[in-house]
Structure 1
């Protein structure tokens, strides 16, 4: 049985004002030779919302909800929060944990899937932060949870609710478009990432709206046109639906745990505008956010890890629960 002194909430981070936007984007793209013009294009997405990303506020609310859930279930553990790309930076949080006497912590990452961007990079971030802090606590990342009931059931509810918001005459034939962040085909773990998305897309579709046509599509690609990424793109998919005389679509951001900027802008602004131009009825399902089942899942993943290998590991779909320690080919960067 493993004992922990704290839970560490690890997230991507985001700007909290117009003055933060370009420094934040420079953090995100450091070492990737992204042209300045491309950063300025992406910055406009943030300026559209006053230069504020919703992700930090989400993390504040999620942290408070986890703390309340822990207290309600007699789990006396402090909850810390650190980001990859903006304050509070992960290294600063690990330094505070060490100063507070934390010796071993479990890390919950606001990314549900396998693959380098979703899992391996966060593992690298945690390792790098620990290297920079003398006396840093041991930190174990909790397992990938894309098919945990606490992640799936909020999407089932949200998909049904989005269908109900469509005009009554369009609901029965509405198409379900499940979206996730695209990644380069060459990225480590891409195959596993795509397989997990396909697996849980079918689970949510069958539970929420059996019989409806559905598709897994992608969004938010940022690489050069010459670099192949996962496809099809959501906006291209909407155009194909229109050409096939589909009248209504529900977009389910199955790849996201909360309303990140990619959801608020790439779906609620760009994709919604394409649908409106085509005359396609459009509704977007909510992300889990601080849904009680999602919050409870954090505690369940923690207590499962504390109990050891014999603990029940709930998982839906065909692929089963992912291991605590990812295989080398799953999400490691190619050095």
Structure 2
């Protein structure tokens, strides 16, 4: 593996290579890289896909099969690839509508089409300066740095590191285009429950996101910012949830009596390893004792209705609510809502124009949505630091 020189920015455009946190120099990007997680598209794909996801961890197929039943329940097909195909088409349409002549290349970290394939394709098309939109909004190893490490790995393995650069769009967790769907969903859920005769004080809102190892959470975000317990990952989710509830209470004054909290789901680590808690289903089971009669689960950590939403929330959380005798609803993810697609293109334009940070839209007051990630952010303590694009090396 290539050694990392300290305090350098590798595999990035000339503007990003300065290491400045925000890029105020316009960059003539010639392609957009839609970077996804990937998912199986048939029963025969499930175990090979899970091997990719867990590569390097030595997990036997028998244990992978314990997770595989989630996919097998849906015919072995994850919806995430189909959703990204639709998102790619929507982005292409919005770019064309706004007169922005940029092709969109879609590649995945864990399943076909792989990032290696599409970066090679882009290079063959003469595209040398790519801007990546990773389909995860928050700061953590798995939702940001791991994508950046994959960009670097791909450029090294394809021998394109000297000719192709990949910058990454900032964490977009509090961009208006992303959060609008959550605010609309919570407002409609509260209104529906109230119309059914359920008092606001009897309604619980659970903002749910993917659990991650506590050690990763503590190291998420820039090191020189005091994020509090759970690092940037928890702080960002809490800030978005608070903004959503403030907006809902502005439009529905009675919603001041509606309770909310941040919960976690989809834990996949060993019991001996601390992960972020509480679990969404555990909390749902406690709600009757709190006097709640209805629960709305808000998938605030997710961009679309992929497997963690369909299984962990629409199946397991819904079953937990039924067992607890609670009215249940799951609010929408952004998906390809027009406001979200427009927001993604707005994020692209920020970088094309070199728009100053103070002119960029955001709904929270949190710092740290950097264009170029800071030294040592989002460390994975189990694997250490690997070469990564679009960030200052530790």
- Normalising by structure 1, we get a TM-score of 0.96
1:97/1:137 contact within 8 Å kept: no
1:196 to 231, 236, 251: 236
The residue that corresponds to 2:27 in the other structure is 2
After TM superposition, give the deviation of residue 34 of structure 1 in Å.
2.7
The residue that corresponds to 1:168 in the other structure is 196
The residue that corresponds to 2:111 in the other structure is 86
1:14/1:55 contact within 8 Å kept: yes
2:47/2:61 contact within 8 Å kept: no
Q: Which has the higher contact order (CA 8 A, sep 6+)?
A: 2
C-alpha separation in 2, matches of 1:321 and 1:116: 15
Q: 1:223 to 1:279 in 2, by over 3 A?
A: same
Q: Which digits, 9 at most, give the CA deviation of each residue in 1:82-115, with x for residues without a partner?
A: 0000000001110000100001010001000001
Partner SS state of residue 153, structure 1? helix
Q: Which digits, 9 at most, give the CA deviation of each residue in 1:10-36, with x for residues without a partner?
A: 000000111110100010001113343
The residue that corresponds to 2:175 in the other structure is 148
2:210/2:267 contact within 8 Å kept: yes
Please tell me whether residue 331 in structure 1 is matched to residue 347 in structure 2: no
The residue that corresponds to 1:139 in the other structure is 166
C-alpha separation in 1, matches of 2:122 and 2:234: 35
- Normalising by structure 2, we get a TM-score of 0.82
After TM superposition, give the deviation of residue 165 of structure 1 in Å.
4.1
Paired residues for 1:210-221 under 5 Å: 210-211=255-256, 212-221=258-267
- Number of aligned residues: 335
1:155/1:287 contact within 8 Å kept: yes
After TM superposition, give the deviation of residue 63 of structure 1 in Å.
0.3
The residue that corresponds to 2:53 in the other structure is 28
The two structures, once aligned, show a CA RMSD in angstroms of 1.5
Q: Which digits, 9 at most, give the CA deviation of each residue in 1:19-71, with x for residues without a partner?
A: 11010001000111334333111100001111110100100000000000001
1:14/1:86 contact within 8 Å kept: yes
Q: Which digits, 9 at most, give the CA deviation of each residue in 1:127-167, with x for residues without a partner?
A: 11111223452110000000000111111112223334435
Partner SS state of residue 340, structure 2? helix
**Structure 2 alignment gaps of length 5 or more:** 1-25, 221-229, 250-254, 385-394
C-alpha separation in 1, matches of 2:60 and 2:187: 41
